[in-house]
């Protein structure tokens, strides 16, 4: 049966990086002539997930892998502010129950800083022990 009228509606978003349109949702509507002379409408609603697999509104594009993720999965590095998807960010739970995100670079940088701080503390404690020993012999 040939439809009398076909309507197709898209909801798109403009990609800020490539400038291309990306379909978020589409609506298909067919108007058919029924057997008894009635005009029947048939509509279909399609939703397309973000690259993260969620059906939530798009949050942004990750600069590391270029994937589009939803508002829940999308975030920024807490240190350099780089936009990241969930897969490219390393979440760290802070002692105050806050969860922050870091990009790989800032994460390894903070790890280095941590190691450095530990090494400094170790050197300092060794130094003070020596000082203490000297004091004892006086």
Site string for Zn ion, 58-87 (x = CB under 5 A): ----x-xx----x--x---x-xx-x--x--
User: Are 29 and 4 a contacting pair, CB within 8 Å?
Assistant: no
Query: How far is Cα 78 from Cα 88, in angstroms, rounded to an integer?
Result: 13
Binding-site size for Zn ion (CB under 5 A) equals 15
Q: Does 17 bind Zn ion (CB under 5 A)?
A: no
* Phi (first) and psi of residue 108, to 5 degrees: -70, -30
Name the one range near Zn ion by CB under 5 A: 12-20, 53-61, 118-126, 128-136: 53-61
CA diameter of the chain: 113
Residue 40 CA to its chain's centroid (Å):
42
Q: Does 88 bind Zn ion (CB under 5 A)?
A: yes
Cβ closest to Zn ion, residue 32 vs residue 63: 63
């Amino acid at each position: 049966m040939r439809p009398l009228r076909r309507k197709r509606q898209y909801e798109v978003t403009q990609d800020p990086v490539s400038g291309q349109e990306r379909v978020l949702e589409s609506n298909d509507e067919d108007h058919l002539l029924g057997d008894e002379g009635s005009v029947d409408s048939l509509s279909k609603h399609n939703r397309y997930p973000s690259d993260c697999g969620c059906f939530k509104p798009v949050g942004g594009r990750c600069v590391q892998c270029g994937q589009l993720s939803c508002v829940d999965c999308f975030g920024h590095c807490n240190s350099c502010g780089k936009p990241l998807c969930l897969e490219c960010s390393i979440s760290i739970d802070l002692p105050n129950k806050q969860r922050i995100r870091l990009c790989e670079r800032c994460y390894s940088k903070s790890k280095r800083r941590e190691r450095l701080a530990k090494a400094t503390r170790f050197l300092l404690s060794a130094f003070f022990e020596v000082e203490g020993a000297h004091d004892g012999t006086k």
